[in-house]
Chains A and B, each alone.
Chain A
């Protein structure tokens, strides 16, 4: 069974630009969560989707948004990029709404210059 796939693996953007990251969950998994990982703040929850509906949202500004498609694939978007948005963005999938046994992808490393 293929794991969680995130694309692209690396991304370099400049301040003010926007970016879209993609996540394909494990086949059969319906819940997708996104986390931001930085050396200073650790793993911070961004949002979670289940059956195309956002169920939970973390404490991030409105520049961070996401969506989930009918095939459970998910995208997250960051608009008006800031230097502080440089981070590893991790997507995780789980079978159901309990979010137990999250499986993580390898992440997208975003650098904002």
Chain B
């Protein structure tokens, strides 16, 4: 089955700096890669997603890149702000496996003012 590895597990940056979180997946059939942000006491919230037919997607300060050959994808947050502090999860799924999302272990991002 699918396995998703996420690095780093913790990340501390200064406000205004960029943050990058990386994930690798094992199942070449995976074709959907969402990223979720989880704040304390809340459920994960979808922040951006990408399908396998696209190499990069941007939404304001966040972007996701996908390298299908290497089976890895990354989340890039630019101009970080204290409110970006949260746990971020990557995930992967393939439609032919019923769309079950397999999550990475999470990255705790801390943005210091």
The one of B44, B100, B105 that contacts A104, using a Cβ cutoff of 8 Å: B44
- Number of A-B residue pairs at CB separation under 8 A: 59
Q: Does any Cβ of B come within 8 Å of A71's Cβ?
A: no
Q: Is the CB of B103 within 8 A of A42?
A: yes
Q: Looking across the interface, which residue of chain B has its beta carbon closest to that of A6?
A: B43
| CB of B49, distance to nearest CB on chain A (Å) | 7
Q: Residue among A42, A92, A105 with the most chain B CB within 10 A? A: A42
8 A Cβ contacts from B70-113 to A:
89, 93, 95, 97-106
Q: Looking across the interface, which residue of chain A has its beta carbon closest to that of B45?
A: A104
Q: Does any Cβ of B come within 8 Å of A112's Cβ?
A: no
Q: Is the CB of B46 within 8 A of A102?
A: yes
Q: Is the CB of A102 within 8 A of B106?
A: no
Binding site for A on B (CB under 8 A): 32, 34, 36, 41-46, 49, 89, 93, 95, 97-106
Q: Does any Cβ of B come within 8 Å of A55's Cβ?
A: yes
Binding site for B on A (CB under 8 A): 4, 33, 35, 42-43, 45, 48, 55-56, 58, 90, 92, 97-107
Q: Is the CB of A99 within 8 A of B100?
A: yes
Q: Is the CB of B106 within 8 A of A42?
A: yes
| Contact A43:B49 (CB < 8 A) given known A48-B98, A55-B98, A106-B42 | no
